[in-house]
């Protein structure tokens, strides 16, 4: 098993500070742009999930977004 395969499933936990050996993951990220990019993607997903959580109490915002999407059929 490669180092990448060991580290990738743990990137989300690493982001949340839930790994016991963050130094070894950080060391791999410093030498592996592929995994660093994966971490970046995880970070974006986490931030988007946070945005969704922030918006969800305000269903009006979502209604406006949906309306805008469905009311522009000839945008293609």
Q: Which parts of this chain interact with Zn ion (CB under 5 A)?
A: 4, 32, 35
Q: Which residues fall within 8 angstroms of residue 39, CB to CB, at 6 or more apart?
A: 11, 14, 15, 29
Three-state DSSP class for 18? coil
Q: Closest distance between Zn ion and the C-beta of residue 4, in Å?
A: 3
Which is closer to Zn ion, CB of 4 or CB of 69?
A: 4
Q: Closest distance between Zn ion and the C-beta of residue 38, in Å?
A: 8
Could you tell me the two tokens for 54?
Answer: 């922030």
Which is closer to Zn ion, CB of 4 or CB of 41?
A: 4
Which is closer to Zn ion, CB of 15 or CB of 32?
A: 32
Q: Closest distance between Zn ion and the C-beta of residue 31, in Å?
A: 8
């Amino acid at each position: 098993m490669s180092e990448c395969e060991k580290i990738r499933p743990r990137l989300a936990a690493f982001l949340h500070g839930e790994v016991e050996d963050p130094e070894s993951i950080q060391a791999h990220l410093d030498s592996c742009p592929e995994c660093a990019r994966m971490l970046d993607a995880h970070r974006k997903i986490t931030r988007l999930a946070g945005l969704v959580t922030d918006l969800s109490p305000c269903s009006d915002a979502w209604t406006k977004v949906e309306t805008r999407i469905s009311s522009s059929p000839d945008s293609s």
